[in-house]
Amino acid sequence: MFTGNLQSPPNIASTNALATSPSDPPQVRKLKKAATDFEAMLLAKWWSSMKESGLGAGDDSTDPGHDTLDNMGIQAMSSAVASRGGLGIGAMLVHSLLSNAEEDAQKSASKLTLSCSNSMA
């Protein structure tokens, strides 16, 4: 008999690094969506490869809609997993790209400051 405490599951969106917020600039929202879509496609490809290698359940290829339903199921699972944070690949991409963009912006600002100070001297 279960005597533990039943609690609601944690809010996954709050731990998802790819969750967008209204305060995100449009470019960041687009980047997060692209990273999520990329991760979903990557997961779908991996799961398709695993299925083709024989790791899937019994193959009932006599059904004419079998492959279509399999592909739709794999795409749905991949999208669902990626939209909840996935394996973290999309979050790593976003973090890396945003960090690089910030570093580039800082370098550009310091070059601009140097060129302005040199031209005034």
pLDDT digits (tens, 9 = 90+) for 53-86: 876 556 566 778 888 888 899 999 999 999 888 8
The Cα–Cα gap between 7 and 99 comes to: 37
Query: pTM score, two decimals?
Result: 0.65
**Per-domain residue ranges for the chain?**
31-50+69-121
- Chain-wide mean pLDDT for the chain? 78
Report residue 10's pLDDT band, with 50, 70 and 90 as the boundaries: very low
User: Which residues, including other chains, have CB under 8 Å from residue 86's CB and lie 6 or more apart?
Assistant: 36, 39, 40, 43
